[in-house]
Structure 1
Amino acid sequence: MAAGIEESVHDHGGMAEAGERRIGWAARSMPVLEAIGAGFAQDRPLDGLRIAACLHVTAETAVVMGALKAGGAEIALAASNPLSTQDDVAAALSTYGIAVHARAGVDRDTYYRHIHRALDIAPNIVLDDGCDLVNILHTERVELLDEVIGGCEETTTGIIRLRQMAAEGALRFPMVAVNDTRTKRMFDNRYGTGQSTLDGIMRATNILLAGRTVVVAGFGFCGRGVAERAKGLGARVVVTEIDPVKALDAALQGYDVQPMWRAAEIGDVFVTVTGNRDVIRAEHLAAMKDGAILANAGHFDVEIDVRALEEMAQTVHFGIRPNTDEYVLENGRRLLLLAEGRLVNLSAAEGHPAAVMDMSFSAQALAVAWLAQEAVRLTPGVYDVPAEVDFQVARLKLGAAGITIDALTSEQEDYLHSWRVGS
């Protein structure tokens, strides 16, 4: 077992074997990343580099960790959410020689302690999902900054924080916005979040969505995916937004667009997907009907004001179902909070399907290899993944699915690159 697994339950009998089976199952649906890992094993683009990662410790993450290790990297991994850690996967990863600092269900202090332990590797490259690791580097572990040549960020919330850091001149090294690739936004955020969020809600509650009113807060790519899947299951979907363009988009797609104060009165299920805090507040909770279900699909547990809910409740029935807590208010109304207000798709279900994460993590792996070559020429800031990486991932995914597409003729290439040809 790798050193450094703090407060571990990972060495209990048979856990690593169970994790190996789970990882093997995920790898079946991740042919692109498997091919990239095989190429890394041959070319060794990451030889001598130390990587600290703060990601969801799941089977899909294990596959990308394996690819990076095959490329020559030394890796330390912490969890980006304590409720998403799969302990059997962590146990299996430790047998690969990866230092894992994660355990399911730890408290907040232990969560941050695990991130510090991952940073003890003195990383050259960092991988983050939510910007917690990068934030700690810049505030509490500044002595390590000179070692870091760059990093990658996986989620919308993290990119928002990184861009603010860059705008204030606080970001000390280049970060690649893996979240902003088309293969990530269009497929991971939309199809992955859409399916896995509803999967988490249904596992936690076993409700029938058909005929229910589902309120989706936020109509970015993630919110769009949740709305599409809920509509496909027969729900009436209400969208709340602060962005007029996104609100118009939702309206023209046939969704009922309302402010939250009005939607609160009619919703049966509420899903927050905004990346911001206090999207559902005390005044909204006070207006909700008996039995309303509250779920969050944003990265941090700040979108639903859980503290306000706790203060309003007269009684709380924790664990009335797995990942479901019932808050009974003064007037007898019951509100059901899923996964403590944390990411419902990873806390109450298994996160995105492996076939979706194949694309996201393939872009992540290729971005790390690109950074290893190009970071010396980059200044601190937030960078897009090179377009060719996005196209390469999409081409490999199409090939793995047996799908062929057209190619431009030489005449079409000339036409696209000439301004002299008119109608």
Structure 2
Amino acid sequence: MENFERARLDAYFAKIAAQFPPATRPAAFLVTHLLPERPSFVRAAAQLTQLKAVLPKPKSIDPAALREVEQSVPVDALTRELFADPDSALDYLESRAGGEDLVLLDVGGYFAPTLAAVCERFSGRVLGVIEDTENGHRRYAEIDKLPCPVVSVARSPLKDPEDFLVGQSVVFSTEALMRGRGDILHGRTALVIGFGKLGSSIARLLHAKGVQVTVFDIDPVRRTQALSQGFAVARDREHALTGAGLVLCATGSIALRGEDFPHLRNGAYIATVTSSEDELELAGLPEVYTRARTGESITRYQTTGHYFYLMNNGNAVNFLHGASVGPFIFLVQAEILAAIQILARADLNPGMHEVDAAHRATIAATWLNYFNR
């Protein structure tokens, strides 16, 4: 990022922070992809909260961004296990923010498994969670009785441009890796598992590149949507896998289980839009498969009479090329900052909430002033 671009981004976030100041600055923990432009967002979050720690998602850490953030904010290692056990989650939060009002800024539902215990036992007060992704949104929505407010930006209209561009970056990276092995997308059959905002974007982009696309989704409503848009729709996953030369997983949950892999067509490529732990049950893969690196960021899985290729070890394939979606990501990050103000009021009931339309309009207008040039 050039210096003038960084200065403009810092000015933009300073304007957003001035528009949505919280009445008091709560303590906060920030889960984030620590990409090259992310320090500006971290600084803005630290302006609106007492930012106790940044927890970068392990597969998306830019070394320069990490060094920059570490100069002003503690950076701690993030694992699912840290927040899977109530005692370890509480020990960690108490060590950094014991007795304080607390906001949890999440990407992917990391705090969901122990949220009830944390809200009940934390020595301070959990004001709520802000969630950025559809995967995380579902994890919180599935909690039978939420113990605190969860403000989700995952389904915000301000996120639509990001979702579309993430789909583009996934297709770009998939094609780049295939071309590195002398293969091309054109004329290939593909299976897109999951027809949400990302999956539908990927399906359309693949189709535009001459790929024969079949869709599988467990939701019958999404299957009808895919059919209405001209895609073939698989009745069952097993049959769909046998005919696909490329499988793109975009569910946010387990798309392929151990027993699914043997059904893959010989030579099929697999790519995902999120972390391997969320999309692929690689631990359930039969032990007869051996692994070997073949080409850049591609692993060949092979057993007698069967083989397939896994891109980027099953992690989000687009992060191999920076996963950039341009300035549109700053719309969503601004909405996260606006949500901090909402939670700091401490007047929301437990449950799922959204940022109101007026705040979104303010964010969009501000973004246009800085980036529509």
The TM-score with structure 1 as length reference comes to 0.76
Superposed counterparts of 1:218-367, under 5 Å: 218-258=194-234, 259-277=236-254, 279-298=255-274, 301-313=277-289, 315-317=290-292, 319-331=293-305, 333-346=306-319, 348-367=320-339
| 1:341 counterpart letter in structure 2 | G
Tell me how far 1:401 sits from its aligned partner.
Answer: 5.0
Contact 1:138–1:145 (CA under 8 A) maintained in structure 2: no
Match of 2:149 in 1: 174
**Larger Rg, first or second structure (1 or 2):** 1
Q: Is the 8 A contact 1:213 1:237 kept in 2?
A: yes
CA offsets 1:308-360 (integer angstroms, 9 cap, x no match) = 335241x210x3234321111221x32111222222223x3322413221111
Give the whole-Å Cα distance in 1 for the aligned partners of 2:120 and 2:137.
20
Q: 2:130: which partner in 1? A: 152
1:416 corresponding residue in structure 2 = none
1:379-408 CA-partner distances (Å, limit 9, x unpaired): 2111112111222233333444549xxxxx
1:282, distance to aligned residue in structure 2 (A)? 4.4
State which of 10, 31, 38 in structure 2 corresponds to 1:54.
Answer: 31
Shift of 1:116: 6.7
Is residue 389 of structure 1 aligned with residue 367 of structure 2? Answer: no
Mapped to 1, the partners of 2:28 and 2:42 lie a distance apart of 10
2:96 corresponds in structure 1 to 121
In structure 1, distance between residues paired with 2:177 and 2:82: 26
- Unpaired segments ≥5 residues, structure 1: 1-20, 404-423
Q: Relative to structure 1, is the Cα distance of residues 337 and 344 closer, same or farther in structure 2, using a 3 angstrom cutoff?
A: same
Pair 260,94 (structure 1): closer, same or farther in 2 beyond 3 Å: same
Cα deviation, residue 47, structure 1 = 5.4
Partner amino acid, structure 2, of 1:296: T
Cα distance in 2 for partners of 1:326, 1:344 equals 15
Deviation string, structure 1 residues 56-99 (Cα, Å, up to 9, x no partner): 222343221111223353341112x311122221111112x111
Unaligned runs of 5+ in 2: none
CA distance in 2, matches of 1:236, 1:216: 11
8 Å CA contact retained: 1:130, 1:299: no
Q: CA RMSD in A?
A: 3.1
One-letter amino acid of the structure 2 residue matched with residue 87 of structure 1: P
* Whole-angstrom CA distance in 2 between matches of 1:34 and 1:118: 31
Distance 2:361 2:90 in 1: 33
Match of 2:43 in 1: 66
Aligned to 2:162: 188
CA distance in structure 2 between the partners assigned to 1:94 and 1:156 by the alignment: 28
Per-residue deviation at 1:108?
6.7
Name the SS for the 2:271 alignment partner: strand
* Inter-CA distance 158–237: structure 2 relative to 1 (3 Å threshold): same
CA distance in 2 between counterparts of 1:115 and 1:311 reads 37
* Residue 369 of structure 1, CA deviation: 2.1
- Over the matched positions of the two proteins, sequence identity in percent amounts to 22
1:197-216 equivalent positions in 2, closer than 5 A: 197-205=170-178, 206=180, 207-216=183-192
Counterpart of 2:39, as a letter, is: A
Measure, in 2, the Cα distance between the counterparts of 1:238 and 1:282: 21
Change (3 A) 1:161 1:219: same
**Structure 1 residues 322 and 102, CA gap change in structure 2 (3 angstroms):** farther
Deviation at 1:39, TM superposition (A): 4.9
Q: 1:235 to 1:116 in 2, by over 3 A?
A: farther
Change in Cα spacing, 1:77 to 1:244, as seen in structure 2 (3 Å) is: same
Distance (whole Å) between structure 1 residues aligned to residue 30 and residue 258 of structure 2: 36
- State the distance in 2 between where 1:25 and 1:342 align: 33
Q: 1:235 to 1:115 in 2, by over 3 A?
A: farther
Could you say if the C-alpha distance between residues 110 and 232 of structure 1 is closer, same or farther in structure 2, counting changes exceeding 3 Å?
Answer: same
Pick closer, same or farther for the CA change 1:396–1:42 going to 2, 3 Å. closer
Cα pair distance change 1:134/1:110, threshold 3 Å: closer
Secondary structure (helix, strand or coil) at the match of 1:234 reads: coil
Whether the 8 Å contact between 1:128 and 1:134 is mirrored in structure 2 is no
